Amino acid sequence: MEQGMVQVYTGDGKGKTTAALGLALRAVGRGFKVCVVQFIKGGGAYGEHLAARQLEPLLTIHQTGRDGWIFRDKLEDEDIRIAQEALEFARQAMNGGSYDLVILDEINGAVWFGLLSVEDLLEVIASKPPHVELVLTGRSADSRVIEAADLVTEMREVKHYYQQGVDARIGIEK
């Protein structure tokens, strides 16, 4: 890739991770190597993990986080440690020369929860090699991250079937 950009997918609507994974699929189709680091997404395999196994070595997903919910006012040291380790893994993936596209899935949420500092994320953005495309997903992207990005898309919920009592469905949401 001649020039990598920084993309942000944020907002309260569904589709941030899905958009990033669509970009990953497009990149893999062109022979690019893609690394996805998922923050605060522990708790078993999602459909994208099963697909990534079939697309290795071009697509690698590194899942991090504990199973269960995180609460902003009740952060646990273990959650902070896991997020910081994931960020270090992401830095190495981005700067190691092996990947063309690095996706930090739910990193905006990890910053919003207080698991990582916005300064740490801004440092990652600033240290991005010129040839690497960097994608950041998650709700509540900090305004400084939005300012640092080259492309920002905000997903806005208009209507969602969760409101009708429909749970997350295998193959669609997980």
- CA pair distance 6, 28, nearest whole angstrom: 18
- Predicted confidence at residue 120, as pLDDT, reads 97
Which domains does the chain possess?
Answer: 6-164 (3.40.50.300)
- The answer to whether 128 and 7 have CB atoms below 8 angstroms apart is no
Residue 82 banded pLDDT, cuts 50, 70, 90:
very high
- CA pair distance 100, 85, nearest whole angstrom: 21
Other residues' Cβ atoms within 10 Å of the Cβ of residue 63: 19
Residue 86 main-chain phi, psi, to 5 deg: -65, -40
Share of the chain above pLDDT 90, in %: 80
Those residues with Cβ within 8 angstroms of residue 25's Cβ, 6 or more apart along the chain or in another chain: none
Residue 68 banded pLDDT, cuts 50, 70, 90:
confident
- Predicted confidence at residue 114, as pLDDT, reads 96
- Predicted confidence at residue 91, as pLDDT, reads 98
- CA pair distance 124, 112, nearest whole angstrom: 16
